[in-house]
Structure 1
């Protein structure tokens, strides 16, 4: 199967300038192609990859700076643009800003890529128009190279090889019948239904303080100045370490989870919508903007989406199935009897069932993980393992052996509480 291998490059001064030029040309081609596609859509017409590629070849005769970058890297840029427009829509694809976009370009032809090992710690790769570039040999390639992508992050250049490691996806897990539900939160990055808490601090206190001071310094600099570029580079260096720690945490956590479970159940969360700003518009300003901003930072810091990607990638090697279920009421439903009301969750960590005769007490995140697991087992029992599909079967209550009924009001101290509950006492069969 296809997998990635990333290494840190050590280019010369001339090669660094060439990489910068390649990236700027690819960025210009992306933005020009996107503007052309949007203009065609405004007129009610379509523009695809083939005519754009033909026009690119013709534009090289008039704009010689397009010849700076290799031809197939520019063609790959148009191919990536075509795929993004088909998947997300032409007007939802973002521009590549010079200030915010991390420079990158791809060499899609494996016949033009050569890799040699120079020693225990060093290797070199030959890329078109760049020649031989040294890189840190931090791990074996482990397969046949399919493509190479060069990127710059935190002031360093990296090369990522897409390799075919000749491994086949396992049809059966080593521990069939095992399953786990994972609740992702802002207090702990991931809590399983087995009671395991996975979390770590990705930024150190000293780094957080330096980053805060750099943000203040950045606000005082003038746009386009050299000091602003230096400040942004220092900020990117700190965030680069944080990103690496988060990626390492997600990869290790995903590896441990998929090795022990044949079924991993996640909530189908719309993370992008959950982390949008609450500022609203000038006509209708939002409420609790500061609180929402703090919640957004906590969601993005825990790496919910990156953990999901890591689980999906690691599951290919163990035969684990990753299922996503409807997240509704998973944090409010009692995993023992199925009673659902807002009063069940007394705090962020405490869950106490308010149903008469139950009184189940558990950690709130563990209880949510158990509900997620039950929903995933119900989905897998129906044979619907597609991610993002509807849940076809409700989890069965352990106390009554029945599925919870919806649309019923709970009574708590003589007060009606909106929620989803089972009738109490349970109806007899």
Structure 2
């Protein structure tokens, strides 16, 4: 999507929040109807039936009639599409939308075309029940049939047009690159480049820890707690903006420079899942240590480096040119002789092959293996390099 930053006035912000409230209410109401289905009952109401129910509800309730019917119907249409995606197996089950976390609505149809350009840097859009709202022109306005207005946790408003950009064409040089994702080094390329995703500085991390301690001492529901939550959200949003900016620039650079991009076939969601508790067999009701805090630190490092987002944006910008390689033992295999041994990985940064003595950066060595598409067996054995002219040898009896 093409997203722009909106700058509504205080009165417009209040009106936009009312539209978000209506959209969230209709979504949760449709979700409740869908969740009440059982085998002994009939089918739940579809989009057409829910629109008829919405018309009756708008006639009965004045607060609902004061909102935009377009926003309310689009919320029902979005939920209907979410249910279809869930049954198709492409998306997860629809969940409840919460105030302060899921703030947004969609405008579709002829009303989505009411956009005017004011100057070289500014434009405005006509939002139903709100009026003309200004937004910053950071790029050309695409030709889209719908747009979505959202608000993040720190109160920033965005306007996103539903227009899919054209993929980046391949350079045609035939070059191939392997990308190894890590925690210390965000992305290591087979060309020897080491890329790091920017995060919060040391001063910002100290500020975040101070705010989190202050939040623990605040009374729930107080205004002071709300101010501290907004300050924490600003720091998290700053880190997220830096991560997304790095991912966009890195994925664009890789799509423009290389014809084929090979990455490890990693499932980030299971990798960042919390460990299960270990019951103590000798003491019922007690649990053994499961290194939960260490795993939480690793999960934060994986998510902070944007492992999943980088591959997702590469697939969007270079469709058909991203290949996923089996990640088994790529960090323990020598990129020169192909010997696989756990002892070759001295530490996080150094790889020293115990067979041929090849020494290199551990992440770059793994990236070279990914670029070559190498995979070893589960026994950690590499097939020996034998001349094709050699006669087959009989296996020795056990």
Offset of residue 324 of structure 1: 2.0
Kept in 1: contact 2:189–2:364 (CA 8 A): yes
Q: Which residue matches 1:342?
A: 342
Kept in 2: contact 1:38–1:91 (CA 8 A): no
Q: Which residue matches 2:396?
A: none
Deviations, residues 144-183 of structure 1 (Å, cap 9, x unaligned): 1322111112222121223366x5x57x622242111111
Q: Which residue matches 2:311?
A: 308
Offset of residue 246 of structure 1: 1.1
Q: Counterpart of 1:180 in 2: which secondary structure?
A: strand
Offset of residue 93 of structure 1: 3.1
Does 2:189 match 1:196?
Answer: no
Q: Which residue matches 2:212?
A: 215
How many angstroms apart in 2 are the aligned matches of 1:178 and 1:111? 46
Offset of residue 347 of structure 1: 1.2
Q: How many residues align?
A: 379
How many angstroms apart in 1 are the aligned matches of 2:176 and 2:306? 22
Contiguous gaps of at least 5 residues in structure 2: 280-284, 392-398
Q: Which residue matches 2:117?
A: 117
Kept in 1: contact 2:170–2:255 (CA 8 A): no
Offset of residue 289 of structure 1: 0.9
**Which of 365, 369, 372 is 2:363 aligned to?**
365
How many angstroms apart in 1 are the aligned matches of 2:151 and 2:369? 42
Q: Counterpart of 2:14 in 1: which secondary structure?
A: helix
Contiguous gaps of at least 5 residues in structure 1: 376-394, 396-402, 409-418
Structure-to-structure mapping, 1:24-423, within 5 angstroms: 24-41=21-38, 46-47=43-44, 48-88=46-86, 92-99=93-100, 101-141=101-141, 143-153=142-152, 154-163=154-163, 167=166, 169=167, 173-278=170-275, 280=277, 287-315=290-318, 321-355=321-355, 358-375=356-373, 395=374, 406-408=377-379, 419-423=380-384
Q: Counterpart of 2:3 in 1: which secondary structure?
A: strand
Deviations, residues 359-399 of structure 1 (Å, cap 9, x unaligned): 33221111211222222xxxxxxxxxxxxxxxxxxx4xxxx
Q: CA RMSD in A?
A: 2.8
Q: In the superposition, relative to structure 1, how do residues 44 and 326 fare at CA in structure 2: closer, same or farther (>3 Å)? A: farther
Q: In the superposition, relative to structure 1, how do residues 138 and 269 fare at CA in structure 2: closer, same or farther (>3 Å)? A: same
Range that drifts further, 360-369 or 110-119: 110-119
Offset of residue 341 of structure 1: 2.9
How many angstroms apart in 2 are the aligned matches of 1:426 and 1:219? 68
Offset of residue 109 of structure 1: 2.0
With normalisation by structure 2, the TM-score equals 0.85
With normalisation by structure 1, the TM-score equals 0.80
How many angstroms apart in 2 are the aligned matches of 1:285 and 1:38? 37
How many angstroms apart in 1 are the aligned matches of 2:223 and 2:173? 59
